[in-house]
């Protein structure tokens, strides 16, 4: 990022190449909408490009980048709650939603795979039902392996607030998934 700030356009290309998969995954986990991932990811990097001169290396670049992605995701979530249509096009068709996988002979039996897939769907549904702050905190902690301090920087709150959000999120997930956890 510092090279890009000094005018090295190739450095920006490298930032995009290195970070696009992580931003894609983060936005998908926040929103659960594969059709919005590409457009929102492009918007994240467009904002990085536009605000490069204001970037201060007080935190890791990824923290700054995640904050941009989280803020944009918050905006989409807020507009959904208000019932305001979001102008981003849905790019993925019904057959593109789930990537094709090559069979693995050492994989679990099909029934086990189905059980695992069902549990994964239920966990994703439970995470999607969390309040926005809790969802973002849990995604950053569990899927992105961010520390409480890093999450507090992304969410612009204290580490105690992050701990509280995560505790409430875990409780809500436990309640939501109780029937699946007892099996």
DSSP code string of 55-107 = --TTS-HHHHHHHHHHHHHHHHHHHHHHTPPP-------TTTSS------TTS
Q: Which of 38, 59, 92 is the last residue of a domain?
A: 92
One domain, residues 5 and 76: yes
Residue 83 has a pLDDT of 62
- Distance in angstroms (rounded) separating the CA atoms of residues 64 and 60: 7
- Which pLDDT band, with edges at 50, 70 and 90, does 183 fall under? low
One domain, residues 21 and 86: yes
- Distance in angstroms (rounded) separating the CA atoms of residues 52 and 8: 12
One domain, residues 80 and 9: yes
163 located within any domain: yes
- pTM for the model stands at 0.61
Percent of the chain topping pLDDT 70: 79
Per-residue model confidence as pLDDT tens digits over 17-42 = 999 999 999 998 888 888 889 999 99
118 located within any domain: yes
Average the pLDDT over 146-164 and give the result: 92
One domain, residues 128 and 160: yes
- Look at the chain and report how many structural domains it folds into: 2
Average the pLDDT over 140-144 and give the result: 89
One domain, residues 20 and 88: yes
Here the tokens at position 73 are 């995701």
3-class DSSP state for residue 158? Answer: coil
Number of Cβ atoms within 10 Å of the Cβ of 61: 15
CATH code where residue 156 lies: 1.10.10.10
Percent of the chain topping pLDDT 90: 31
Range of the domain at 165: 110-183
CB 35 within 8 A of CB 89: yes
């Amino acid at each position: 990022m510092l090279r890009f700030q000094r005018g090295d356009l190739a450095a920006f290309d490298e930032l995009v190449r290195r970070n696009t998969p992580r931003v894609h995954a983060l936005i998908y986990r926040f929103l659960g909408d594969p059709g919005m991932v590409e457009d929102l990811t492009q918007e994240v990097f467009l904002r990085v490009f536009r605000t490069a001169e204001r970037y201060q290396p007080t935190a890791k670049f990824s923290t700054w980048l995640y904050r941009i992605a989280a803020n944009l995701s918050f905006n989409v979530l807020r507009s959904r709650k208000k019932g305001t249509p979001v102008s981003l096009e849905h790019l993925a068709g019904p057959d593109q939603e789930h990537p094709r996988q090559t069979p693995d002979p050492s994989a679990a039996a099909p029934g086990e795979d189905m059980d695992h897939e069902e549990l994964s769907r239920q966990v994703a549904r439970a995470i999607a039902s969390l309040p926005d702050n809790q969802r973002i905190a849990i995604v950053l902690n569990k899927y992105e392996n961010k520390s409480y301090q890093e999450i507090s920087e992304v969410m612009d709150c204290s580490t105690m607030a992050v701990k509280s959000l995560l505790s409430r999120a875990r409780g809500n997930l436990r309640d939501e998934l109780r029937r699946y956890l007892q099996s």
